[in-house]
Homo-oligomer: A and B are copies of this chain.
Amino acid sequence: MSVKERKERDRAARERLILATARELAEQQGWDAVTTRRLAERIEYSQPVLYSHFRGKREIIGAVALEGAAELAAAVRIAAAGAEGPRERVAALARAYLAFAERNPAVYDAIFQLDGGLAFAREDTPEPLKDAFAALLENLAEVAGDGVHPGLFTEVFWASLHGLATLTRAGRLPPAETESRVQLLVGRLAVV
């Protein structure tokens, strides 16, 4: 039975290769450049091999998004854990979130902008997505303020960060004053 196991290992490795390659290509040249032909060529297999791992391009984007969501959650938790006091914790969280979006634009797009066939804000929402929201909630609940539902506060705070991230990335906001915007946002939204 060792033969079967080896094949399964190889298959899993190839799946990781596909995702890593898709992500790399997307970060280098944007998701539009991630065509099934180019992706197949880079992993040195033919196109149909991709379809033996994923239902289609959208599912590949979705898989990259889930990876990214886990990383985003980790980045947020690490940043928040390294800060003293509620105010600084929230500011650190905000900076970490925006830094992730700036450093991994393609992955951020996969999570929040593109259609990766993922369900959100529902019961069947994949675990990494729920966990990313949880990572925000954990650190934001303490500054939601009296009588304000922590979940609702987290949604609003998250939406604001998302707006800053996307508008900055799309060139809609000049990137120079990002820190000023974070200061303003945290100062106003967080109740310390």
Contacts and interface: CB of A to CB of B under 8 A. Distances in A.
Interface in A133-172: 148, 152-153, 155-156, 158-164, 166-167, 170-172
B160 A112 contact: no
Total copies of this chain within the assembly: 2
Contacts of A173: 120-121, 155, 159
Interface residues of A, number: 31
Contacts of A119: 171
A163 B159 contact: yes
A29 interface: no
A174 B113 contact: no
A188 B158 CA distance: 15
Contacts of A164: 156, 159, 163
A58 to B, nearest CB: 12
Given A162-B163, A163-B158, A163-B160, A184 B153 contact: yes
B162 A177 contact: no
Interface of A: 112-113, 119-121, 148, 152-153, 155-156, 158-164, 166-167, 170-174, 177, 180-181, 184-185, 188-189
